[in-house]
Chains A and B, each alone.
Chain A
Amino acid sequence: MLKDRLVVSNDTRHLIVVRDFVSRCIRQSRLPREDENKVILAVDEAVTNIIEHGYDEGVSGSIELEIEANDQQFKVMIRDTGRVFNPESVPDPDMKEHVQKGYKKGLGIFLMRQIMDEVRYKFKDGVKNELTLVKYIR
């Protein structure tokens, strides 16, 4: 059983640290290397959403990542104390419309769903938002 934890502040400059952390954990786990880029991307998208939408501009906050991996799955729990936001409420985008209208945002949650086997959100007392991303190891 692999367990590790990282805490970063809500600044996009830390995304590279988040990606390095997830990469290191994946390489210590049994997750196939072909899934590495995708799982890193899903976590990057989740953390980016929190940084961009979780806090008012100029308000600092922290984001905690906890990774647990075993023979069956690679699980990432992402916790923050920002604005309550349930990604399950966001519909998938119509990509043709997205391109036609020049929309640049709103693709992160779609990517998380495309990549991960489970995307679960819950609001926890004392923690606020907790997003759990799970990739099964087949």
Chain B
Amino acid sequence: MFKERPIILAAYVVCSLLALAAVTPFLWVLMTALKPNPEINAWPPQLLPREPTLEHFVRILGEENFLRYIFNSLVIALSSMTAILFTSSLAGFIFAKYRFPLRGLLFSIILATAIIPIEVYIIPLYLMVFGARLMNSYFALVFPFVIMTFGVFFMRQVIMSIPDELLEAARMDGASEFWIYARVVLALSKSGLMALGVFAFSEAWANFIWPLVVVTSKDMYTTELGLAIYQRQFFIEYGPISAGAVISILPMLVVFSVLRSHIMKGIATSGLRG
């Protein structure tokens, strides 16, 4: 965009500093998690652990039961992801490829809820779960996250780009509509499904306020909730806390680094449309 030398130099300096600022907190918390207790509060602080140890990880996973919280988070995030991929692709397919009465109105109703954050309507959601006596269950934890407005919109965009001729050809061969959805549409929107899947998984994994509200016993804690509650204790140690933070971030980083290109493409093609 700009080819002037001072600007290019400034670009390298500013971006490098900010990139450093972006990753330093991670490195710091990772190093803290690996340091034995006396080293954590050493003064002046040292970046690298002198005698690296996994004791904090052992403690947080074992004694503090984070293994269970991770399991819970995985169950919730995977169920939510599966449900959202299914509901979004199905509704997106219908809105993209069929004409039917009230199509515009139904789509507007779904879109209208997109921008309203869960904090606004969390009380009635809670009352539904409470009334159905389903508090503290996987069902309660997952059920607000089985649909995603953005997902429907996104999959509609993705599926609209599939040529009608392909669907017609399948129909000529006698394929049912469901078969077309399951075998043609899903196969041709893999990249979009991947991006949406990552997004849905991390949304469900990262959610905090909903588990905080519906979980009543420790064995149903999610990783986020466990971490937030654990760090509230009167006397906390930064070693295990840091190990907990590392554990909670790790799955996101792994998923992100594996599927990076899909995610960036997802933002580029649709994140701009609100």
Do the two chains bind? no
Give the interface of B toward A (CB within 8 A): none
